[in-house]
């Protein structure tokens, strides 16, 4: 056991208390890497038929609005083209199994990219090993929102674990290093959009599906800062857990990888106070 890597419950409680003190006093946290980020949470009550099946038409409108709001462009086409060039090889990185990304989400992204002028043969299913990401010039991360019993949350940061070429090195106690993968030369700077499928998230016991902890949130969570998007997703999951139990019900283990991705690997912003959360659409039970 390497003593330098031991992180205990006590360490976690101390770091949480320190963060709370910073929040209460307004003293800036000088160790934070980035300054601010924005994340969009867009929902539509009609996104799922009978709270179960995706309504592709509604989803398509949600996606167009999402990409316009994230980029500040006035049309979906210009929004997509502000992110990608027709010459880009665009990798779509969905979660393939165990609460997978809804295929309708991947299909809608493909369709809108195509409509914007990205050739179909320039799009790749880019989930997989290093060779998948190496062939792409740009990426869209498309994970499903879910808790994970080994990492606390298993959504944005974990979505690129296969790009490491050595996923075992990021399992168990080493999951705290997941942010490191986003800095690999074959990955860094390629991700133009993080689009989380939050249509029917899972707030406990992931990655195996457990419908007791799945609910029709009917949302998309999007942004360009993977850590900030993950942090907002974490907030949604945590608030849902509290609502289910009617008492504080924190994720266990704590998602240490999120803060580490900010403070240690400088991939993005993990401090909620530095994240501007923009919301649109259905506001009931927003959990933010």
Partner 1 sequence: MIARVMGRREALFIIRLIPFLTLFVYVDQAAGSASGLAPREQAMTLPKQVGQWKLVEGPRRIEPKAIFDYMDGGGELYLGYRFRYLDVFNYAGAGDEQILVEVYRMEGSDDAFGLLSLDRDGEAIGFGRGESGQGIYGAGLLRLWSGDIYARVLAERETPQSRQAVMALGESVCRGRRQTAQPAFLKALPAALSGFRLEPNRVSYFRSYLVLNSLYFLSNENILKLGLKTEAAIASYVSGSGGQQKRARLLEIRYESDSSALSAYRSFLAAYFPETKSPKAGSGQVAKATPPAGKGGTRKVEDGWAGHRLVGRSLVLAFEFPSEPTARLCLDTATEQLQNWEKSHE
38 forms bridges with which residues in the sheet?
276
Q: For residue 191, which of 264, 112, 116, 268 has the smallest C-alpha distance?
A: 268
What CA–CA distance (Å, rounded) separates 89 from 137?
A: 5
Q: How far is the CB of 211 from partner 1 (least distance, A)?
A: 4
Indicate whether 24 belongs to the interface with partner 1 (CB under 8 A): no
Q: How far is the CB of 121 from partner 1 (least distance, A)?
A: 29
**Smaller CB separation from partner 1, 148 or 190:** 148
Residue 165 near residue 99, CB atoms below 8 Å: no
What CA–CA distance (Å, rounded) separates 77 from 74?
A: 9
- x-marked contacts with partner 1 along 251-280 as a string, rule CB under 8 A: -xxx-x------------------------
What CA–CA distance (Å, rounded) separates 140 from 143?
A: 10
- x-marked contacts with partner 1 along 49-78 as a string, rule CB under 8 A: ---x--------------------------
Residue 165 near residue 185, CB atoms below 8 Å: no
Indicate whether 172 belongs to the interface with partner 1 (CB under 8 A): yes
Largest interatomic CA distance in the chain = 55
**Smaller CB separation from partner 1, 219 or 254:** 254
Q: Binding residue for partner 1 (CB under 8 A) from 91, 144, 179, 207?
A: 207
Q: For residue 63, which of 128, 113, 101, 8 has the smallest C-alpha distance?
A: 113
Indicate whether 36 belongs to the interface with partner 1 (CB under 8 A): no
Positions that interact with partner 1 (CB under 8 A): 1-3, 5-10, 12-14, 17, 52, 97-98, 148-150, 154, 158, 171-173, 176, 204-205, 207-212, 214-215, 244, 252-254, 256
């Amino acid at each position: 056991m390497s003593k330098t890597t031991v992180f205990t419950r006590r360490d976690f409680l101390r770091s949480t208390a320190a963060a709370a003190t910073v929040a209460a006093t307004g003293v800036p946290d000088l160790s934070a890497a980035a300054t601010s980020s924005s994340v969009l949470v867009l929902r539509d009550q009609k996104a799922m038929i009978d709270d179960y099946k995706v309504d592709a038409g509604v989803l398509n409108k949600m996606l167009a609005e999402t990409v316009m709001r994230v980029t500040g462009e006035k049309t979906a086409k210009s929004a997509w083209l502000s992110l990608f060039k027709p010459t880009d090889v665009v990798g779509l990185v969905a979660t393939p199994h165990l609460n997978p990304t809804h295929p309708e989400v991947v299909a809608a992204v493909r369709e809108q990219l195509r409509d914007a002028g990205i050739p179909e043969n320039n799009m790749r299913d880019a989930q997989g090993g290093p060779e998948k990401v190496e062939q792409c010039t740009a990426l869209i991360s498309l994970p499903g929102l879910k808790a994970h019993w080994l990492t606390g949350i298993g959504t944005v940061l974990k979505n690129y674990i296969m790009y490491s070429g050595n996923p075992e090195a990021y399992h168990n106690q080493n999951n705290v290093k997941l942010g490191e993968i986003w800095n690999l030369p074959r990955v860094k700077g390629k991700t133009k959009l993080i689009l989380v499928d939050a249509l029917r998230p899972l707030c406990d016991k992931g990655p195996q599906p457990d419908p007791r902890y799945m609910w029709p949130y009917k949302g998309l969570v999007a942004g360009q800062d993977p850590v900030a998007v993950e942090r907002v997703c974490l907030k949604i999951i945590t608030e849902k857990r509290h609502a289910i139990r009617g008492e504080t019900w924190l994720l266990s283990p704590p998602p240490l990888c999120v803060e580490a991705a900010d403070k240690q690997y400088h991939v993005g912003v993990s401090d909620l106070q530095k994240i501007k959360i923009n919301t649109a659409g259905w506001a009931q039970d927003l959990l933010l």
